[in-house]
């Protein structure tokens, strides 16, 4: 073949390859009506304003800024790897930061400096969830992506103050934009929905209808439904049949919604389904997704015809006899040159990255739903549920352990640099007061430490009348401390709440607060009559939650905490009421008021016949979150007689409840915290301890098991973000016994 013919053939082949690329670039640059992008910009700005407002509103006494970001109870944040340099503002700067976020959202609504406002939203919003890795949420990540994309889009060209102040000639004056912003936003949202469906293709979702069944049976959903329908109907909704229907409906929605919205014939049906889907999530199923359902509905509109806002305004104007808004015709949109090669490449590179990122967990061994490795940035939204027991962090420092004359291991208190107190574990429901000392220091959640005289410990033959015991207490105190204390009989929880309610009536407390106290009184009465141990523990948990909420009241919370000091010892931890009353001993010279409002016994002034440090009795298994928060970070625990003491690290004293709940189910966060604990210990003692995490985690519906190997020194283990970490225990898909029995009955 001659060289000229060969060159001509190559030229034709080259043009054939270039032609599709040129067609794509021309398509992306095609002018379309910018009304739909303007509507999305305004709706997105509205969501940002609502998010900013939600951060500032109290819940119920403190707002989210104080509770999670920069309040006095927030002591530490989980940093992202590579972003350790990001630190939270102190107040009032954090509140001003969130206010700036809301102002930027308002600018997007009206289209004032739209791209700059989008950049401010991206920076301020992304900063909020980069502060703490436990705050990560796929919805927050989506908002950051949308804000970043809007920084490069002509979002202020239509229906904005920018358009009014900057009159543009010819095509732009007609309110047009190139097609690529709509194309990119459609592609982004299609990937979000599709991968949310892919994440649900697992055994838990398909074969067990989990976590949907777990959600339907939860107190949040049942409480919402009970306010709308009968309790019987609400219980019927929590059936496996309904859970399976909702599970497969949600799966079908996520996998198909993008295709329904892209096809013109099914677009209206897709919009209706999207509205129903997000409304069900917001009003019934989930309360922790903030304003994402509204954002989901608003982003759905980008799939509609680009001029849908003009047509809607025109139709609405006709119904209300308003002047009709002009509808842009395709012939008036003009033409434009093809989009540049680099711009086209960047658009498809963005979509390619978004399409590849959710698959990275495939190259990491283990089940991502269990290990959470590769979980972020992958749109795994509400696809699993985990439940965890109490977390125990045990430290081993051989330099603090010595041997006594009998060879028994004991703590070297001369080397201990924290509060010289030993916390003795007592199983509250099974406590035998006859085996305890007559003088006890106990810890009660919400109140703190108190001194109690135990009449059950008196030797046989001693008079146990109230007058005789009071005289015995007075003589002992006068002989030991040279003064007389205040002595009061202890009360049951029901009696304490009755007296507290009477005091509230005298002080003119609001009726709403007294109604909450009434609910607590009903729980206390029911608890006192309950005999089943499991039911008693459930009621006790509900009662303690109510008391914790009541104690937050600014006017009467302190009064309640003082009243809690009159309870029978360990009654908030499950100890049964005894026929013989205890005696509450109060000596202000021995008590110290802490900054968190709790009370401590001054160990330096406590005089006891027993040798060693001050021993404080409590039930380590039933203290609850409110109880652990008043204990020190590092504490010496005496678990059982004859066993050496253990050093425990109290994460509840440093982490807020939300951080702790997330950390227990995220191995990487556990590793971060173990490294922090070891570093803090090294700073104080000059050496790194061994750090062991013990916590049972259940991937619903499977049996609870160790997520992290409890025999592994977690602080000494390497951390990999790109491969599997061997210190994460493998998942065993074992169903609980009651679940297996149910499955057998169903097969029969």
Q: What is the pLDDT of residues 480-527, one digit of tens each?
A: 999 999 999 999 999 999 999 999 999 988 998 999 999 999 998 898
Q: Per mean pLDDT, which of 104-118, 428-442, 581-595 is the most reliable?
A: 104-118
Residue 145 has pLDDT above 80, yes or no: yes
Residue 14: which pLDDT band, with cuts at 50, 70 and 90?
A: very low
Looking at every residue in the chain, the average pLDDT score rounds to 87
Please give the pLDDT value at position 739: 54
> 457 versus 60: which is more confidently predicted?
457
Give the whole-angstrom CA distance, residue 447 versus residue 598: 5
Q: How far is CA 95 from the centre of its chain?
A: 20
Please give the pLDDT value at position 445: 86
Q: Per mean pLDDT, which of 7-21, 379-393, 612-626 is the most reliable?
A: 379-393
Please give the pLDDT value at position 408: 76
Residue 19 has pLDDT above 90, yes or no: no
Residue 745 has pLDDT above 50, yes or no: no
Residue 213: which pLDDT band, with cuts at 50, 70 and 90?
A: very high
Q: Which of left, alpha, beta for 616 (phi over 0: left; psi -120 to 50: alpha)?
A: beta
Please give the pLDDT value at position 327: 46
Please give the pLDDT value at position 15: 45
Helix-then-strand count for the chain, H and E: 28, 19
DSSP string, 469-505: HHHHHHHHHHHHHSS--EEEE-B-HHHHHHHHHHHHH
> 236 versus 719: which is more confidently predicted?
719
> 167 versus 321: which is more confidently predicted?
167
Please give the pLDDT value at position 391: 92
114-128, 222-236, 298-312, 706-720: the lowest-pLDDT one: 222-236
Please give the pLDDT value at position 11: 45
Mean pLDDT of 562-590: 89
Residue 3 has pLDDT above 70, yes or no: no
Q: Quick one: which of 631, 735, 647 has its CA closest to 685?
A: 647
Question: Which alpha helices (DSSP H) does 577-666 contain, by range?
Answer: 624-628, 657-664
Residue 387 has pLDDT above 60, yes or no: yes
Residue 622: which pLDDT band, with cuts at 50, 70 and 90?
A: confident
Please give the pLDDT value at position 642: 72
Residue 211: which pLDDT band, with cuts at 50, 70 and 90?
A: very high
Mean pLDDT of 629-641: 89
Q: What is the pLDDT of residues 258-291, one digit of tens each?
A: 999 999 999 999 999 999 999 999 988 888 888 9
> 409 versus 508: which is more confidently predicted?
508
* Structural contact between residues 358 and 379, judged by C-beta atoms closer than 8 angstroms: yes
Query: What is the distance in angstroms between the CA of the first residue and the CA of the last residue of the chain?
Result: 79
Please give the pLDDT value at position 8: 43
> 314 versus 216: which is more confidently predicted?
216
Residue with tokens 């802490």: 594
SS3 call for 607: coil
Q: How many CB atoms neighbour CB 31 within 10 A? A: 21
Residue 478 has pLDDT above 70, yes or no: yes
160-169, 262-271, 293-302, 611-620: the lowest-pLDDT one: 160-169
Residue 254 has pLDDT above 90, yes or no: yes
* Structural contact between residues 521 and 498, judged by C-beta atoms closer than 8 angstroms: yes
Give the whole-angstrom CA distance, residue 355 versus residue 503: 63
Peptide bond into 60 cis (omega under 30): yes
Measure the CA angle with vertex 480, ends 476 and 484; round to 5°: 65
How far lies 162's CA from each of 116, 180, 335, in Å? 11, 21, 23
Percent of the chain with pLDDT over 70: 91
Give the whole-angstrom CA distance, residue 290 versus residue 275: 16
- In eight-state DSSP terms, residue 89 is P
* Structural contact between residues 87 and 681, judged by C-beta atoms closer than 8 angstroms: no
């Amino acid at each position: 073949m001659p060289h000229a013919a060969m060159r001509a053939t190559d030229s034709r082949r080259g043009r054939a390859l270039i032609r599709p690329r040129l067609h794509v670039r021309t398509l992306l640059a095609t002018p379309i009506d910018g009304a739909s992008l303007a509507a999305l910009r305004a709706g997105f700005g509205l969501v940002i304003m609502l998010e900013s407002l939600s951060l500032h509103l109290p819940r119920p006494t403190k707002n989210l800024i104080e509770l999670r970001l920069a309040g006095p109870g927030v002591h530490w944040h989980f940093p992202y790897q590579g972003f350790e340099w990001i630190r939270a503002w102190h107040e009032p700067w954090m509140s001003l930061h969130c206010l700036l976020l809301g102002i930027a959202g308002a600018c997007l609504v009206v289209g004032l400096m739209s791209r700059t406002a989008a950049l401010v939203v991206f920076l301020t919003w992304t900063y909020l969830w980069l502060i703490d890795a436990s705050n990560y949420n796929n919805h927050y990540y989506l908002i950051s992506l949308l804000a970043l994309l809007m920084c490069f889009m002509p979002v202020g060209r239509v229906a904005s103050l920018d358009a009014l102040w900057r009159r543009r000639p010819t095509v732009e004056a007609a309110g047009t934009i190139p097609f690529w912003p709509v194309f990119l936003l459609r592609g982004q949202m299609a990937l979000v929905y599709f991968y949310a469906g892919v994440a649900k293709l697992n055994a838990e979702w398909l074969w067990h209808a989990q976590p949907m069944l777990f959600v339907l049976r939860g107190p949040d959903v049942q409480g919402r439904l009970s306010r709308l329908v009968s309790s019987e109907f609400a219980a019927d909704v929590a059936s496996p049949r309904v859970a399976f229907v909702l599970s497969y409906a949600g799966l079908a929605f996520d996998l198909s919604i993008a295709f329904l919205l892209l096809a013109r014939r099914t677009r209206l049906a897709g919009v209706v389904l999207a509205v129903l889907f997000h409304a069900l999530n917001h009003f019934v199923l989930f309360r922790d997704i903030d304003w994402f359902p509204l954002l989901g509905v608003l982003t759905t509109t980008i799939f509609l015809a680009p001029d849908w806002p003009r047509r809607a305004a025109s139709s609405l104007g006709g119904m209300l006899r308003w002047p009709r808004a002009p509808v842009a015709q395709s012939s008036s949109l003009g033409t434009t040159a093809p989009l540049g090669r680099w711009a086209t490449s960047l658009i498809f590179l963005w979509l390619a990255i978004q399409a590849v990122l959710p698959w990275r967990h495939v190259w990491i061994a283990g089940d991502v739903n269990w290990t959470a490795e590769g979980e972020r940035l992958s749109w795994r939204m509400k696809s699993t549920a985990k439940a965890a027991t109490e977390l125990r962090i045990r430290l081993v420092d051989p330099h603090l352990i010595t041997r006594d004359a009998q060879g028994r291991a004991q703590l070297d208190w001369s080397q201990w640099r924290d509060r010289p107190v030993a916390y003795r574990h007592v199983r509250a429901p099974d406590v035998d007061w006859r085996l305890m000392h007559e003088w006890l220091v106990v810890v009660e959640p919400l109140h703190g430490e108190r001194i109690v005289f135990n009449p059950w410990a008196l030797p046989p033959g001693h008079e146990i009348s109230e007058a005789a015991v009071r005289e015995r207490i007075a003589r002992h105190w006068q002989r030991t401390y040279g003064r007389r204390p205040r002595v009061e009989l202890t009360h049951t929880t029901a009696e304490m709440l009755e007296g507290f309610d009477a005091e509230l009536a005298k002080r003119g407390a609001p009726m709403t607060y007294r109604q909450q106290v009434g609910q607590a009184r009903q729980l206390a009465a029911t608890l006192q009559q309950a005999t089943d141990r499991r039911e008693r523990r459930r009621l006790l948990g509900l009662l303690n939650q109510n008391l914790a909420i009541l104690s937050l009241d600014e006017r009467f919370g302190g009064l309640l905490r003082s009243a809690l000091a009159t309870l029978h010892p360990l009654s908030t931890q499950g100890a049964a009421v005894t026929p013989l009353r205890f005696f509450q001993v109060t000596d202000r010279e021995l008590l110290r008021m802490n900054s968190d409002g709790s009370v401590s016994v001054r160990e330096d002034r406590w005089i006891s016949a027993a040798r060693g440090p001050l021993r404080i009795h409590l039930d380590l298994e039933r203290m609850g979150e409110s109880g652990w928060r008043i204990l020190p970070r590092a504490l010496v625990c005496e678990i059982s007689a004859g066993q050496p003491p253990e050093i425990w690290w109290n994460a509840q004293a440093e982490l807020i409840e939300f951080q702790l709940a997330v950390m227990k189910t995220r191995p990487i966060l556990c590793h971060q915290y173990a490294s922090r604990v070891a570093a803090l210990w090294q700073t104080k003692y000059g050496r790194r301890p061994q750090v062991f995490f013990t916590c049972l985690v259940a991937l619903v519906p499977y049996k609870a098991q160790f997520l992290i190997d409890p025999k592994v020194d977690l602080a000494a283990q390497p951390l990999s973000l790109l491969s599997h970490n061997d210190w994460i225990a493998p998942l065993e898909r074992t169903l609980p016994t009651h679940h297996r029995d149910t499955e057998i009955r169903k097969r029969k």
